[in-house]
Amino acid sequence: MRLTKLLLITLLLLVSVCAKSQKGNEFTVLQWNVWQEGTMIPGGYDAIVNEIIRLKPDFVTFSEVRNYNHTNFTARVCASLQEKGLQYYSFYSYDTGLLSKHPITDSLTVFPENGDHGSIYRLTSSVNGCKVAVYTAHLDYLDCAYYNARGYDGSTWKEIPLPTSVEEILKINVASQRDDAIRLFITQAEKDLANGYAVIVGGDFNEPSHRDWIEKNKNLYDHNGFVVPWTVTTLLEEAGFVDSYRKIYPNPLTHPGFTYPSDNPAKTPEKITWAPKADERDRIDFVFYKGDGLDAKKAIIFGPKGSIVRAQRVQETSKDKFLLPLDVWPTDHKGLLVTFGSK
């Protein structure tokens, strides 16, 4: 009896140690489009800071960094976090931004912003003994062909006739600079991988996933019968990168994972929608990764459960899991929080 009890205690201790060890090897990445630095919503900037304090992500990939009035947005956020006792690191960037809880060993502009066609930046660091290269990408918002597929011009957002073929949609899509930017990312990422880094890229791609526009949902969400092999995610997958959300939730019917347009109680739906007569919901905010031993363990949609459909507020009824805001929601996107660990 005494031996059995001793064995049970030993087993429980081993389980506890293993669980702590596993958690100790985990780290988190938050992709977050903050809608012009949170300036579109009263209290938006404070909400950004407060949510980072709550979540304490190891890395944050921001979209829509503007550095208004000759400021440095990521440096401001780091200073605000420092006032609350949290140490984060950053470097100057525009359009996209990066925060790291871990010292930054190098930074690089991969695709510089020019004419509002998006940008990609990269940092290198180390977390839990693992060398990581973390990229932030805010890709070109023009020639936004998933709107064309819904009867809206993807550059003017005026109503237009539907395209006649998938080929027409893809021709419009590659007129953007999204594919150009992601090809530059892949080239640089391969260098990082060759140097022993695991690579993560978070971003608002302004383009859906080919895993989300499939035969089984071609008549849902105003896909209008189109099955589209969207360019950016196809390029990433062909290069060996893994879509963290689709790795964990492979079925877009049960887990569509919509990140745009998010409902926001501080704005009327008309101020959020770009296509007021369409169901424009899509998953356009992503975290992709590649690297030996790196694996996405958990992923959760960060933000309100509501979305905008045909200029109306709706509550999502999917099986997606949501991490709801503390209070003020500073943006028209939902974020994505991904937990990484070892395979």
CA atoms lying within 13 Å on the CB side of residue 259: 28
Question: What's the mean pLDDT in 4-17?
Answer: 40
How much is the average pLDDT of 212-220?
A: 98
- What mean pLDDT is reported for the chain? 94
| Percent of the chain predicted with pLDDT > 90 | 92
Residue 271 DSSP label: G
Residue 123 neighbours by CB under 8 Å, 6+ apart? 91, 98, 100, 104, 105, 106, 107, 108, 133, 134
- Other C-beta atoms within 10 Å of 63: how many? 27
Range of the structural domain that residue 336 is part of: 27-342
- List, for residues 149-187, the tens digit of each pLDDT value: 999 999 999 999 999 999 999 999 999 999 999 999 999
pLDDT in tens, 43-58: 999 999 999 999 999 9
Q: What is the pLDDT of residues 280-321, one digit of tens each?
A: 999 999 999 999 999 999 999 999 999 999 999 999 999 999
pLDDT digits (tens, 9 = 90+) for 218-266: 999 999 999 999 999 999 999 999 999 999 999 999 999 999 999 999 9
169 in any annotated domain: yes
> Would the pLDDT of 15 be above 90?
no
Of the pLDDT bands very low, low, confident and very high (cuts 50, 70, 90), residue 13 is: very low
Residue tagged 């887990």 (tokens): 255
Rg (CA), the chain: 21
Pinpoint the alpha helices (H) of 25-72.
44-55
Percentage of the chain lying above the pLDDT 70 cut: 93
* Domain-embedded: residue 149: yes
Which among 319, 314, 305 is positioned nearest to 245, based on CA atoms? Answer: 319
Flag whether pLDDT at 6 surpasses 60: no
CATH value at residue 286 = 3.60.10.10
Residue 72's φ and ψ, nearest 5 degrees, are -125, 100
Q: Is residue 126 part of a domain?
A: yes
Flag whether 232 is in a domain.
Answer: yes
126 contact partners, CB below 8 Å, separation of at least 6: 102, 103, 105, 132
What's the distance, CA 175 to chain centroid? 23
In a domain, 22, yes or no: no
Q: Is 2 exposed, middle or buried (0-12, 13-18, 19+ CB in 10 A)?
A: exposed
Asked if residues 74 and 61 have their Cβ atoms less than 8 Å apart, the reply is: no
With bands split at pLDDT 50, 70 and 90, how would you rate the model's confidence at 342? confident
CA separation for the pair 31, 332 (Å, rounded): 14
Total count of domains within the chain: 1
pLDDT of residue 20: 40
Give the pLDDT of residue 343.
Answer: 72
The angle subtended at Cα 17 by Cα 14 and Cα 18, nearest 5°, is 85
